[in-house]
A and B are shown apart, each in its own frame.
Chain A
Amino acid sequence: MSSNGCKGIWVFAEQRGGELHGVSLELLGKANELAQGIGCAVTAVLLGHNITSHAKTLVNHGADIVLVADDPLLKHYRVLPYSYVIEYLIKEYQPEVLLMGATAMGVELAPRVAAKLKTGLSAHCIDLKLDREGKLLQVVPGWEGGVIATIACPAHRPQMATVMPGIMRALSPTEKTGQIIEVKVSLTDKNLGPEVLEVKTEKPAGRPLEQAEIVVAGGWGVGNEEGWKTIEQLADVLGGSVGATRPAVDEGWVEEGQMIGQSGKTVRPTLYIAVGISGVMHHVVGMDQSKEIISINTDANADIFEVSDVIVVEDFKKVVPKLIKEIEARQKVCK
Chain B
Amino acid sequence: MKRIIVCVKPVPDPKHWHKVSMDPVTMTLKRAGIPSIINPLDKHALEAALSVRDIRGGEVVLLSMAPPFATSNLKEGLAMGADRAVLLSDPAFAGSDTLATSLILAAGCQWIGDFDLVFLGNFSIDGSTAQVCSQLAEFLHLPNVMHVIDMKWQENDKIIIIQKIEQGYVKLEATLPVVLSVRKELNKPRYVPFTGILAAESKEIKVLSNEDLGVDSSSIGLEGSPTKMAGLELRRFERAKERLAGSIEEIVAKLADKIYQCNIS
The answer on A and B forming one complex is yes
Q: Which A residues are within 8 Å of any B CB, using their own CB?
A: 16, 76, 79-80, 83, 103-105, 107-112, 114-116, 118-124, 135, 137, 142-144, 146-156, 191, 193-204, 213-214, 238-239, 246-247, 250, 262-263, 270-271, 273, 278, 280-281, 288, 291-294, 305-314, 318-319, 322-323, 326-327, 330-331
**Smallest CB–CB gap between A127 and chain B, Å?**
11
Question: In the assembly, what is the distance between CA of A250 and CA of B225, in Å?
Answer: 31
- Hey, which chain A residues are within 8 Å of B55, CB to CB? none
CA of A105 to CA of B178, assembled, Å: 18
Interface assignment of B240: CB less than 8 Å from any CB of chain A: yes
Bound-complex Cα distance A122 to B170 (A)? 26
In the complex, what distance in Å separates the CA atom of A82 from the CA atom of B130?
Answer: 18
A143 contact from B29, B170, B227, Cβ within 8 A: B29
Candidates B18, B134, B165, B242; contact of A201 at CB < 8 Å? B165
Of the candidates B22, B123, B134, B171, which one forms a contact with A198 in the assembled complex, judged by CB atoms under 8 Å apart?
B171
**Complex interface bits, B1-39 against A, C-beta within 8 A gives 1, otherwise 0:** 000000000000010011011100001010000000000
Which of B18, B143, B172 sits near A196, CB closer than 8 Å?
Answer: B172
Shortest C-beta distance, A112 to chain B (Å), equals: 4
Set A80, A123, A152, A202: member contacting B130, Cβ < 8 A: A123
Assess whether A151 is in contact with B137, with CB atoms less than 8 Å apart.
no
- Bound CA–CA A294/B255 (angstroms): 9
Assess whether A151 is in contact with B229, with CB atoms less than 8 Å apart.
Answer: yes
- Residues of B near A202 (CB, < 8 A) are 167-168
B42 at interface, CB cutoff 8 A: no
Chain A residues positioned under 8 Å from B129 (CB to CB): 111, 122-124
* Contact assessment for B229 and A310 in the assembled complex, using a CB-CB cutoff below 8 Å: no
13 A-B residue pairings within 8 Å (CB atoms): A104-B147, A107-B130, A115-B134, A115-B138, A120-B225, A122-B227, A148-B235, A149-B27, A150-B231, A152-B229, A201-B166, A309-B242, A314-B248
Kindly list chain A residues whose C-beta atoms are within 8 Å of the C-beta of B61: none
Chain B CB count within 10 A is highest, among A107, A123, A148, A194, for A194
Closest residue of B by beta carbon distance from A144 = B21
- Which single member of B134, B166, B170, B233 contacts A148 (CB below 8 Å)? B233
Per-residue interface assignment for chain B, residues 248 to 260, with 1 indicating a CB less than 8 Å from any chain A CB and 0 otherwise: 1101110110111
A288 to B129 Cα, complex, angstroms: 22
B230 surroundings in chain A (CB, below 8 A) = 135, 137, 150-152
- Per the bound structure, the CA–CA distance linking A118 and B132 in Å amounts to 13
Shortest CB–CB separation between residue B188 and chain A, in angstroms? 12
Q: Which one of B84-92, B97-105, B194-202, B206-214 contacts A?
A: B97-105
> With A309-B241, A331-B265 given, is the CB distance from A194 to B172 under 8 Å?
yes
Contact of A153 among B20, B29, B139, B226 (CB under 8 A): B226
A306 engages B239 (CB within 8 Å): yes
Interface contact B168-A115, CB-CB below 8 Å: no
Q: Cβ of B94 < 8 Å from any Cβ of A? A: no
CB of B145 closer than 8 Å to a CB of A = yes
Contacts of A121 in B (CB 8 A): 98-99, 131, 227
CB distance from B167 to the nearest CB of A (A): 5
State A188–B249 Cα separation when bound (angstroms): 72
- Looking across the interface, which residue of chain A has its beta carbon closest to that of B18? A278
What 1/0 flags go to B141-154 for Cβ under 8 Å of A?
00111110000000
B91 CB to nearest chain A CB (Å): 22
B128 with A124: CB separation less than 8 A = yes
Contact A115 B252 (CB under 8 A): no
Given A124-B128, A263-B128, A291-B262 in contact, is the A308-B239 Cβ separation under 8 Å? Answer: yes
B215 at the interface (CB under 8 A from A): no
Residues of chain B within 8 A of A200, CB atoms compared: 168-171
Q: How far is the CA of A148 from the CA of B233 in the complex (A)?
A: 5
A196-B170, A271-B259 are contacts. A142–B248 as well, Cβ < 8 Å? no
User: Which one of B18, B22, B139, B249 lies within 8 Å of A149 (CB-CB)?
Assistant: B22
Query: A39: shortest Cβ distance to chain B, in Å?
Result: 23
In the assembled complex, the Cα of A111 lies from the Cα of B237 at a distance in Å of: 33
Task: Indicate if B192 sits at the interface (CB-CB under 8 A).
Answer: no
From residue A225, how far is it (CB to closest CB) to chain B in Å? 18
Could you say which of A104, A119, A194 contacts B161, with CB atoms under 8 Å apart?
A194
Instruction: Give the complex CA separation of A150 and B233 in angstroms.
Output: 8
Would you call B244 and A197 a contact (CB within 8 A)?
no
Given the known A-B contacts A121-B99, A155-B226, are A142 and B265 also in contact in the complex, defined by CB atoms under 8 Å?
Answer: no
B174, closest chain A residue (CB)? A194
Report the Cα distance A327→B131, complex, angstroms. 46
Residues of chain B lying within 8 A (CB to CB) of residue A153: 226-228
Contact between chains at B166 and A310 (CB < 8 Å): no
B135 located at the interface, meaning its Cβ lies under 8 Å from any Cβ of chain A in the complex? yes
Using CB atoms, name the residue of chain B closest to A112: B134
Q: How far is the CA of A214 from the CA of B259 in the complex (A)?
A: 10
CB-contact partner of B242 in A154, A238, A311, under 8 A: A311
Q: For residue B172, which residue of chain A has the nearest CB?
A: A194
The one of B29, B135, B166, B264 that contacts A103, using a Cβ cutoff of 8 Å: B166
Chain A proximity mask over B96-140: 1 for CB below 8 Å, otherwise 0: 011100100000000000000000000101001111111101110
In the docked arrangement, what's the CA distance between A155 and B228, Å? Answer: 10
